[in-house]
Amino acid sequence: MEAKSKILLIDDEEVVLDSCTQILAGGPYQVATASDGTAGLRLVQEFQPDLVFVDLKMPGISGFDVMEKVHTMDPTIVMVVITGFATISSAVDAMKRGAYDFLPKPFTPEEFRLITCRSLEKRKLVLETIALRQEKEMLREHFAHIVSHELKAPLSAVQQSLFALEFELSKTLSESQKEKLERAKIRIDDLIKLINSWLRVISVDINKLKEGFTQISVKDEISKALDNLELYAVRKDIEIVTSIGDVLHPVIGDGLSLSEAFVNIIGNAIKYSHDGSRIVVNAKENGTDVVISIQDNGVGISEEDLPHIFDGFYRGKSGQAMATGHGIGLAVSRQIIEAHNGSIVVESELGKGTTFTVRLPKWSNQP
Ligand SMILES: Nc1ncnc2c1ncn2[C@@H]1O[C@H](COP(=O)(O)OP(=O)(O)OP(=O)(O)O)[C@@H](O)[C@H]1O
Ligand SMILES: [Mg+2]
- C-alpha 25/C-alpha 82 separation (Å) is 19
Residue-level pLDDT at 47: 96
Residue 39 binned pLDDT confidence (cut-offs 50, 70, 90): very high
- Under CATH, what is the fold of the domain 5-107? Rossmann fold (3.40.50)
Query: Are 199 and 207 in contact, with CB atoms under 8 Å apart?
Result: no
Max CA pair span of the chain: 98
Residue-level pLDDT at 299: 98
Residue-level pLDDT at 196: 82
SS3 98: coil
pTM: 0.64
Query: Are 305 and 316 in contact, with CB atoms under 8 Å apart?
Result: yes
Task: Give the pairing of strands 29-34 and 5-10.
Answer: parallel
The residue contributing the CA closest to ligand 1 atom 27 is: 329
Answer whether 326 contacts ligand 1 (Cβ < 6 A).
yes
- CA 214 to centroid of ligand 2, rounded, Å: 27
Percentage of the residues of the chain whose pLDDT score is greater than 70: 96
The residue contributing the CA closest to ligand 1 atom 1 is: 269
The residue contributing the CA closest to ligand 1 atom 20 is: 327
- Low-confidence winner among 94-103, 154-163, 216-225, 286-295 (lowest mean pLDDT): 94-103
Same fold, 5-107 and 213-361: no
CATH class of 213-361: alpha beta
The number of beta carbons lying within 10 Å of the beta carbon of residue 338 is: 12
- CA 42 to centroid of ligand 1, rounded, Å: 57
Domain boundaries, the chain: 5-107, 134-204, 213-361
Which atom of ligand 1 is closest in space to residue 298's alpha carbon?
3
- CA 138 to centroid of ligand 2, rounded, Å: 29
Answer whether 248 contacts ligand 1 (Cβ < 6 A).
no
- CA 96 to centroid of ligand 1, rounded, Å: 43
Percentage of the residues of the chain whose pLDDT score is greater than 90: 71
Residue 366 binned pLDDT confidence (cut-offs 50, 70, 90): very low
Residue-level pLDDT at 203: 62
If one residue of 192, 238, 262, 268 were mutated to test the ligand 1 pocket, choosing by the most ligand atoms within 8 A of its CB, it would be 268
8: closest CA among 45, 34, 42, 36?
34
pLDDT beyond 60 at 152: yes
Report the Cα 161 to chain-centroid distance in Å: 39
Question: What secondary structure, in 3-state letters, does 275-314 show?
Answer: CCCEEEEEEEEECCEEEEEEEECCCCCCCCCHHHCCCCCC
